[in-house]
Amino acid sequence: METALTRLTGVEHPIVQTGMGWVSGPRLVSATARAGALGILASATMTTEQLRHAVREVRSRTDAPFGVNLRADAGDARERVRIIVEEGVRVASFALAPSRALVSELKDAGVVVIPSIGARRHAEKVAAWGADAVIVQGGEGGGHTGEVATTVLLPQVVDAVDIPVIAAGGFHDGRGLVAALAYGAAGIAMGTRFLLTSDSTVPDAVKARYLAATVRDITVTAAVDGLPHRMLRTDLVAALERYGRARALLHALRRAAGFRRLSGLSWAAMLRDGRAMRHGKDLSWSQVLLAANTPMLLKASMVEGRTDLGIMASGQVAGLIEDLPSCTELVDRVMREAGQALRALPPTAWSTGSPAP
């Protein structure tokens, strides 16, 4: 199935595996790439040295195109861009809107730039800066998300920009791919569905929690970091929502101490970052500290398997997923289902030549 996405990136199928912190590592990305889809390395939870090593590990496993996801607000974003360019990575995606300068630097080096956005105006902005495509995530998507459903946001963005649009939020099968194409998208991006594969390094106990979840077990809360965040509802999430300011601050300080040890940041640097994050937002200091060390909360579950101590970002679609295929099995299934869905569409007036009703 050839679309603007496959032509732009050189992949075989119009499917993207999104960059999920602690999840989208070399094993998952290389398995996705070998399956013919676009795998995206999540670099935000890596040091620059680890990023270069991860890129080279993927390269050692496959010759297929893949990408790297960046945080545009990272202090070392320019260094990460340099690694992408030097290592010959095909695609750069962004968790937040990139700066015009970063887009120009990447494009000048021949890297395909695909930011993720959650609003029409953001798509228009990055398109004007020269982005090659956009991933549009509706409110059904996991992690930080907006309030507008994919079925409303997607056609808005398709009508607003002249670059390929990739639909994200609520996709897990071939029917969804066909629906996205009907809206005018060039393909789909999936996070939770790729997290729940046999190639994902997420611990089995965590995968089991996802597979057991119904759509009602997936919630949006601002209790973790002050911003809408879609995740599995757990005892930890419920506790954070109940905490008063003092108890929340104590919890945040404990987590911040762990993040400081992992990241090597000083308390002064963390406070400096916290002030920047707090600017323009009505966040308590406990929320600021939790936002700064949300990676630790994700690591506890996605790496250490501690579902009691960590958070589990999740799209609503987790409530529909029941198995753990390999990436190859998943991509083959999605494409097979897409073909079946297209063939099952009823004959139309314009295809038979009869007058439209």
pTM of the full structure: 0.90
> Which pLDDT band holds residue 149 (cuts at 50, 70, 90)?
very high
Query: What's the rounded mean pLDDT across residues 167-173?
Result: 98
163 and 276 part of one domain: no
Amino acid (one-letter) located at 72: A
Whether the Cβ atoms of residue 36 and residue 10 lie closer than 8 Å to each other:
no
Q: What's the pLDDT at 223?
A: 83
**Could you tell me if 90 and 144 lie in one domain?**
yes
pLDDT for 7 beyond 70: yes
The pair of structure tokens assigned to 213 is 């979840």
Q: Residue 270's domain spans which residues?
A: 214-302
pLDDT value at residue 262: 58
CA distance 304 to 299: 7
Q: Number of folded domains in the chain?
A: 2
In a domain, 353, yes or no: no
Is 349 within a domain? no
Q: Are residues 94 and 225 in the same domain?
A: no
Burial of 326 (0-12, 13-18, 19+ CB in 10 A): middle
Q: Look up residue 193 and give its amino acid.
A: R
Least confident of 38-47, 130-139, 258-267: 258-267
- The mean per-residue pLDDT over the stretch 81-107 comes to 94
Q: Is residue 19 part of a domain?
A: yes
For residue 311, the Cα-to-chain-centroid distance in whole angstroms is: 16
Tell whether the model's pLDDT for residue 207 goes beyond 50: yes
